[in-house]
Amino acid sequence: AQKVTQAQTEISVVEKEDVTLDCVYETRDTTYYLFWYKQPPSGELVFLIRRNSFDEQNEISGRYSWNFQKSTSSFNFTITASQVVDSAVYFCALSEANDSWGKLQFGAGTQVVVTP
Amino acid sequence: DSGVTQTPKHLITATGQRVTLRCSPRSGDLSVYWYQQSLDQGLQFLIQYYNGEERAKGNILERFSAQQFPDLHSELNLSSLELGDSALYFCASTRGGSLTDTQYFGPGTRLTVL
């Protein structure tokens, strides 16, 4: 069963608009980590942010912010004032304590297209 | 640049052949993870090594094998290749190979099986 769901397949925005990417996860563990990775057209996977299950404080880092809500099992990610360089596929991933060696379970990804 | 290196960048081969993908972890990292990214399966965990020992296995086919050498680089061997093995293969490394570590990914090896 899919443990990480990214329902948005593609989001298209015009530069300077905000983009929010949805991620819903499923786990029975009380200890887990959530991640966002970016895959630009060049293909590499770039780590963006991570959150552990005990820290629901939402933060902002530059143009990135995230909203972690355990009550709804969601870990949404927002890019503020999008730029063309933000065009990429964004993956949400889960790492669970019952698999303590840290393997990542990825969602299907959301393609973000930012046009000038 | 994550500090994880993978070679080759691209590989084109024929069905039935065998290939070896190589990964060098970041300096100081002891654990290597391998993932496969394909159009139909998405990003899937294959296998993990820590300091030379296999630690966890995912949906890795029996035709695939891996190892981690004393210098900590890792190789993923794919044999009896099929068209469906065409994919992007990533490795990632971490210091301790545990839940609390962040995985940093290499640039990937794109395998095309013709």
Confidence check: pLDDT of B82 > 70: yes
* Cβ–Cβ under 8 Å, residues A95 and A27: no
Picking from B35, B45, B107, the nearest residue to A43 by CB comes out as: B107
**Measured CA distances, B107 to A74, A108, B5, B83 (Å):** 29, 19, 7, 22
Å from B102 to nearest chain A CA? 8
Average pLDDT of every residue of chain B: 96
Residue B59: predicted pLDDT? 85
Could you tell me what percent of chain B has a pLDDT over 90?
92
**CB-nearest partner of A106 from B33, B42, B102:** B42
Residue numbers in chain A where pLDDT is lower than 70: 1
Which of B103, B104, B109 to mutate against chain A (most A CBs within 10 Å)? Answer: B103
pLDDT value for A78: 95
Check CB contact under 8 Å for B98 and A101. yes
Q: Are A23 and A77 in contact (CB under 8 A)?
A: yes
Q: Is B53 exposed, middle or buried (0-12, 13-18, 19+ CB in 10 A)?
A: exposed
Residues B19-31 have a mean pLDDT of 97
Is A105 close to B45, i.e. CB distance below 8 A?
Answer: yes
Q: Is the pLDDT reported for residue B57 higher than 70? A: yes
